Structure 1
Amino acid sequence: MADLVHLTPERAGRRILRSGVAARSRGSSGDSGVYCMPVLPSFTLTHQWVRELKRWHPGVLVAVRIRVPDSQPVTVGHYGAQPRQLTAAQAVAMVRGLADPRGYEVFVPRAVAPDEVRDVRRIPQGIGWRYQPDAHGRRPCACPVCLAPGTPGAAAVRQRFSDDRPNPKPELMAALRAATTPDEIVDALWALGGRRRGGAEELAYLAGHPDPEVRETLAEVLRSYRGAAARTLRATLADPDHA
């Protein structure tokens, strides 16, 4: 049997335990089914789609562990490429053998029966990548090609990152101080670091932030800052003993 994980809003958890996972998604050929990831040795890679899916499904997501026959026909591939048609066992083996399985997905072209559902578990909500693998540490592109109309949060991203709107620094700093979640802080930092600015000491309070992505984004943004304060902060963040 092939072990897979399907991510879904928490509110659907009880229904799934009773009735299984409905075939509500569309595959590359237009057939209905369920998107999953193989259970991998890495918990993070197994649940890598959490942060990206939360852009489209606000609220808490849960992981549905399912088990389908090894011979079950599925498609598997990177979300940006044409998938391959394999059996479930072959698809799991293929993804497990990849050096970098980020962005891969398995599509089961049918509903998942209740007796194929093993359990429904709550998982951390900050796992994985947003926008695309390797997007971390890069300023989001607000052009219509990279950020399609209708994308949840697109207006906010365009407002922050569009080169056509040079926000005043006081407005950008106010947005940063108002940010509460790591994702909001990261987005605000990118908006602030889009141009060379002074006053790096205003960002010093983030050097000890518990979220590593915030600290890494701060280090990247500080490259556009000048002055002693910026150099000190960059040295602090580069120190391997600093966390």
Structure 2
Amino acid sequence: MRLCTPASLFLAVVAAVLPTAAQAQAEAPPPACATEDDSDFPLTARIHGGPDTYTAGGGYGTWDLQLTNTTDRSCVGIHPVVVLVDDKRELRASQTVLEFYAPDREQPHPVRFETTDEDELVGAFADERTGFEGFTVEAGRALTVKVRLAFTSDAVAGEVVAKAAVVQRHEDDGDWVGQSDDYRFRIEPGPGTEAGDAGPDELARTGTGTGGQLLTVAAVALLAGGLAGVPARTRR
């Protein structure tokens, strides 16, 4: 299967969800979801139900990420990774507030975004603080993950495309096991503000308050630095 996402972005995705070397040695690796005989991704992914527009500084828009296991094998340790690309390449990680819900927890998990060299925002569904170990998608079954997204009041108006890559964490490696369709939407300026102007409201103040709850910037940088020796695998 040919992937349209650059290999450099895949490396950033893997870096965002892989554990440290110490964790990898301590944890038993999950069985592989993908096999060498698979010609397609073992998981299909679809984003649906999201709004067409978001207001900068406004409330959350909710949508679903549906993961379907097309194999006869259970897929565990599954981490979706949302990639956001805006037309101006000006959207910043600090302006984006994304949370997801796990089946065993009422409160949402926050997602921390990192910026790639191509000014894409990459956010992994991984929460080290609460010990979230990824989703399990049973053989032949579908799992729907509720997601909510908002933008702070200083976010620049424009068109945005969201896509979800799906990674299975596997020791100090990761398998790319799925990729969603595109979800296109527009960010509109908030009331009383011009596109790109900051307006001090509650969302603007709280949008960057989840920093310590996921992988820290330093941890991601450390993992990314060690990727030279990581045999990241993609489906072709």
Give TM-score scaled by structure 2 length.
0.23
Higher relative contact order at CA 8 Å, sep ≥6: structure 1 or structure 2?
2
Highest CA radius of gyration, 1 or 2? 1
In proportion to residue count, which structure has more strand? 2
In proportion to residue count, which structure has more helix? 1
